[in-house]
Amino acid sequence: MIELIEKTLLAGMGAVSLSQRKAEELVQELKQRFNVSEEEGKALFEKIQETAKENQKKLEDLALEEVQKACERVGVATEDELHKLQKRVLKLEKLLKEKGE
């Protein structure tokens, strides 16, 4: 029974991340309604937390990827490109100073 509840709950979570408080409330409710033991409740809670963390990481990665694509489309320079330009400017300034200009 607990496996069915667990699978249904985890499938239903999708990309939604539960807060710790809400997850704890949900586990308490499951314990009361379905006579889930303390150990089963803790295991379910840990699985919910882990799934939420994984989903949050996936969402962050996806958001970062989309931001990078948008920056490329509008022509925003990357941090690496800016560093290369700074080095190049410093090198050119040095050359100008050496030539006395």
Q: How confident is the model at residue 45 (pLDDT cuts 50, 70, 90)?
A: confident
Give start and end residues of each alpha helix (H) in the chain: 2-13, 20-34, 38-74, 79-98
Q: Number of structural domains, the chain?
A: 1
| 87 lies in some domain | no
pLDDT in tens, 65-88: 888 888 888 888 888 999 999 999
| 86 lies in some domain | no
**Closest among 34, 53, 31, 55 to 43, alpha carbons compared:** 31
| 83 lies in some domain | no
Q: How confident is the model at residue 15 (pLDDT cuts 50, 70, 90)?
A: very low
Range of the domain at 18: 2-76
| 91 lies in some domain | no
* Cα–Cα distance, 80 to 71 (Å, whole number): 14
